[in-house]
Amino acid sequence: MNNFYVSENALLQRFDATKRQMGLTTQNADELHAWRAALRAKVRLLLGVDQLTPTPLNARVTEVVQRDGYRRERVEVDTEPGVTMTMYVLVPDGVVNAPSVIAAHGHDSAGKLTVAGVGDDPEVAARIATYSYNYGEVAAQHGYVVFCPDARGFGERRESLSQGPDQVFNSSCHQLAHMALPLGLTVAGMWTWDLMRLIDYIGARPECQGQPVGCIGLSGGGLQTLYLSALDERVACSVISGYFYGVKDSLLVMSGNCDCNYVPHLWENVDMGDLAALIAPRPVLFETGRQDPLNGSRGITNVLEQYAITSKAYALLGAEDKLDIDIFDGPHKWHGAKVLAWLDKHLR
């Protein structure tokens, strides 16, 4: 039998020795504000957000389909030179002016199709049933104007290596990461930038002007919601589902997870609880299933450790009522039991 001389243990030890150098340690609100400003600047730098260049949105509606209780528009906007974001916009019947919700998708989603409830294809319908993936459609049926974008590398935005007819549920995260990282960019940073530009577009929509914007998402959609909410204060309310745990258990030990999770030098500075602390005091609800394998070998303990970090920030700002977690018995999926009430409380 061969012996293998692996580096994994050395990397785990390196994580323990270098982790959270900018983690939350503040003792009062003034210190928290200063920490937040410094960490936001650092995270933007690590993600590569500040390297991206805005361009006129040039929004165009290419299709309008009437559904039961809402119309579905297919829209394109330009987020940087040469980069187009595709999306569905769900506008409830009779709405003149209402709060909006960004519904970010995760993996195994066919991009915007699942969150927008476009289940005409049996395989898409199966994903919706498995993950309760049509949370964008549910929010629209509840009266919100909902924006369901394709993240880069998904749906209509798949890159050249993922465009085969049998790859509709695949993503281009691996290809994008390999191209972006040597250029000082990251997949998570490009996703965050695109959602920031989406908020620019939402502000120009007559149905949404003057109204607050929420963001919700499962798994990779939770990743997008976490980074967007941490870095852009225009997000008034958030729901992060299936994406909140300590990175050592869930992304370092479980190192086979998708490339979109990995940001150079991030873990030397923060863990997920610190990132979520940047959202305070704006409302954020977390969801996690007790049987979600992405929580790692220690399960809910790994989640609650990060929740305790975030809770400290909310306590320092006297905003404990703006933070909540829904721990449910179930696997990696959207739960939704508290979501509509949470959105109504903080967006309406």
Residues shown for the chain: 348
Amino acid identity, position 311: S
Q: Are 186 and 45 in contact (CB under 8 A)?
A: no
Q: Is the pLDDT of residue 2 over 90?
A: no
**Mean pLDDT computed over 301-326:** 98
**Mean pLDDT computed over 56-83:** 98
Query: For position 103, what pLDDT does the model report?
Result: 98
Longest dimension (CA), the chain: 71
Tokens of 12: 């785990």
Pick from 209, 250, 8, 186: nearest CA to 99: 209
Q: How confident is the model at residue 165 (pLDDT cuts 50, 70, 90)?
A: confident
> Which range (30-44, 137-151, 164-178, 195-209) has the least confidence?
164-178
Q: Are 90 and 137 in contact (CB under 8 A)?
A: yes
Q: Is the pLDDT of residue 168 over 90?
A: no
Any long-range contacts for 28-33 (C-beta under 8 Å, 24+ apart)? 28/316, 29/316, 29/317, 32/280, 32/313, 32/316, 32/317
Global pTM value: 0.97
Q: Are 62 and 83 in contact (CB under 8 A)?
A: no
Distance of alpha carbon 126 from alpha carbon 128, whole angstroms:
5
Does domain 20-347 match CATH 3.40.50.300?
A: no
